[in-house]
Amino acid sequence: MAKLGIILTLVGAGMIEMALTDPEAGIGIKIFMTICGLIFLIPGIWLDKWAIEELKKKIDKSKEEGEGFFTSTAKNLKSAFTKLMLPGYGAEPDKNKLETALTSFRNHLSEFYSTAAPVENASIQADVTQIYRNILEYRRNRLRNKGISLRFESVRKNYGNKAVSSKNYFDGKYEISEVREDIAAKTVFVKDDKPVFTRVDKDIAFYTITKTKQIGINNVICPNCGNTTDRDNLLDGCDFCHTKFMIEDLGTRVSDFALRKDYDIEYQKYKDARRKMFYWVCFIWGSICVLFSLFFAIKSAPEIGSEENLGPIMMIMITLMSVVIAGGFLTAIGVGAFMIWVFPWIQLGASFSHVSKKILSKLEKSSENDAASEKRVRSFDNNFSIAGFFSNIQNKLAVIHYAESAAQINTFSLCDMTGFLERYKDVIDMEIKYIALDNYRVDKGLQVAEVSADVRLTGYNGKKCTARNESLKLVLTKAADCKTQVVCGPSVMTCHHCGSSISLLDGRLCTQCGNDIGLERYDWVIREYKV
């Protein structure tokens, strides 16, 4: 509105000035132009007055908030300019309880990694399941042993149409929410107050969130046997299976969290990169064209003014119009030529870079294969989720790469992984670059999944960090009668032989009697692992 007021005022004043100063114009023309000028001038002045009042309100508000008006205006302009030039820029605020919970979890995760407090006293304990808490401790212990602390920062972004999406279902024991969140994360590894390695992720965060199923006002589904009972009974021991639960077992918990690349998001960022380049070309080339147009307009203005006897206001308007028309015309020609003849070569060069169509094609093919694999597995397991399955595998790979003992590295495997301890002893970070379900079948009472994955490992030898890539082939199995479900119930963490509590930090064998907890009955385990 303020811009419109200024334009109307200038046009109206220019027409009146021209009518009063043109010696060759007749009285009729002068009256007509003056009336037309007033038609533009009066509403322009009214809009200018309204804009000034609004400006005063903003200044007063800025003073009340303790921030100068010009500082506030500069921040707003910077934000608007950055969003124009950098699509997807800026954090997305929490809009509901789910988004607030995700933000809280990521903040607690950052706190967990950056402090040396025992896991039992960490805020993250209230956010995650028992098993996932043990998996997080594997990584933090490796960093502690290296004398490294980790700073994890993350914000929600919006690369596509919706920053957070979720799907919900009941797996027979828990209410499950599988959540996808657009995210930008920065992980800094620090030793002796100096960064030794920094990792930046602009991808998708995948969460699996669980809670007990509520039936009516007081009753819930027992997560162990599936019978309906009172919540208080579960704390004393389920009337049917006698399993005792803690309050945290019955609340909302994160059982998986993983950062991975996603075709839709990568394609959106690829389009944003093209759009960003278009904006920058328009801005830079347009600025050059406008400056040249302004130079020639100012240079030729005296000659035009002397020949036409125009007043100063009209000369300013004619100069500005010339600059806009000439600058816009030259900008359109230059940008058009760039997009037609230059940009295709830049795209060709980008085919060897991270934002290339070559990588996009691989991700697209992987996305199509994932959809087909998920459909195939769901013919046997209605609730199977490829995203949840990959997060599960990613967590098991983390345990393998951060394990410190034979018991730990064999926690989720039936094959002996002890020989890999030396290979992975210096790993401080593991990034999944690609993961795919190559084959799935049900055979002899077992579900069998063949998985391939490309990982990037960062190692620290005490002096410097080095990175290497690794391609993995895995064969995983799970009991055929164990359909999709989260693995977090107390029954899994209790020895069925002697009743002792089991911590996965000690491996899958009971430390009291040596009995194997038999994870294959509850979850995927690794039968083959090849590099």
Owner of token pair 């009743």: 499
Residue 42 identity: I
Other Cβ atoms less than 10 A from the Cβ of 60: the count is 11
Query: What does the DSSP assignment read for 376-390?
Result: HHHTT-TT--HHHHH
Query: Is the confidence at residue 168, as pLDDT, over 80?
Result: yes
Other Cβ atoms less than 10 A from the Cβ of 473: the count is 13
The percent of residues in the chain predicted with pLDDT above 70, rounded, is: 63
> In the prediction, which pLDDT does 252 show?
82
State how far Cα 379 lies from the chain centre: 31
For the stretch 286-310, pLDDT in tens is 777 767 766 666 666 555 545 455 5
What is the overall mean pLDDT for the chain? 76
Query: Is the confidence at residue 347, as pLDDT, over 70?
Result: no
Q: Which long-range contacts (CB under 8 A, 24 or more apart) does 528-531 make?
A: 528/415, 528/473, 528/474, 528/475, 529/400, 529/413, 529/415, 529/417, 529/420, 529/472, 529/473, 529/474, 530/472, 530/473, 530/474, 531/470, 531/471, 531/472
For the stretch 310-340, pLDDT in tens is 555 555 566 666 666 666 777 777 777 776 6
> In the prediction, which pLDDT does 73 show?
56
> In the prediction, which pLDDT does 88 show?
45
Q: For strands 446-460 and 465-479, give the pairing.
A: antiparallel
Spatial separation of the C-alpha atoms in residues 119 and 130, rounded to whole Å: 11
> In the prediction, which pLDDT does 35 show?
63
For the stretch 111-166, pLDDT in tens is 888 876 555 556 887 888 877 888 888 898 899 889 898 889 888 887 766 889 88
Residues 6+ apart with CB under 8 A from 108: 122, 123, 124, 126, 127
SS3 for 201-216, per residue? EEEEEEEEEEEECEEC
| Across 523-529, average pLDDT | 93
Phi, psi of 331 (to 5 degrees): -65, -45
Query: Is the confidence at residue 242, as pLDDT, over 80?
Result: no
Other Cβ atoms less than 10 A from the Cβ of 385: the count is 21
| Across 168-182, average pLDDT | 84
Q: Could you give the strand order of the β-sheet that contains 214-215, starting from the edge strand earlier in sequence?
A: 214-215, 219-221, 228-230
Copy the structure tokens of residue 279: 């904006």
Other Cβ atoms less than 10 A from the Cβ of 360: the count is 16
For the stretch 15-28, pLDDT in tens is 776 666 666 665 55
Please, where are the H alpha helices in 253-379? Answer: 263-308, 312-337, 343-350, 357-378
> In the prediction, which pLDDT does 311 show?
55
Top-ranked range on mean pLDDT: pick from 38-42, 265-269, 280-284: 280-284
> In the prediction, which pLDDT does 212 show?
81
Closest CA to 422 of 300, 531, 519: 531
Spatial separation of the C-alpha atoms in residues 382 and 371, rounded to whole Å: 14
For the stretch 363-381, pLDDT in tens is 667 677 788 888 889 889 8
Higher pLDDT, 51 or 404: 404
For the stretch 75-111, pLDDT in tens is 555 554 444 444 444 678 888 889 999 999 999 999 8
300 CB-side CA count, 13 A: 12
Owner of token pair 């036409």: 308
> In the prediction, which pLDDT does 34 show?
67
Number of helices and strands (H, E) in the chain?
13, 12
Spatial separation of the C-alpha atoms in residues 265 and 158, rounded to whole Å: 9
Residues 6+ apart with CB under 8 A from 19: 25, 29, 30, 31, 32, 33, 34, 37
Cut 0.75: pTM above it = no
State how far Cα 120 lies from the chain centre: 29
Tell me which DSSP letter residue 251 carries: S
| Across 240-265, average pLDDT | 72
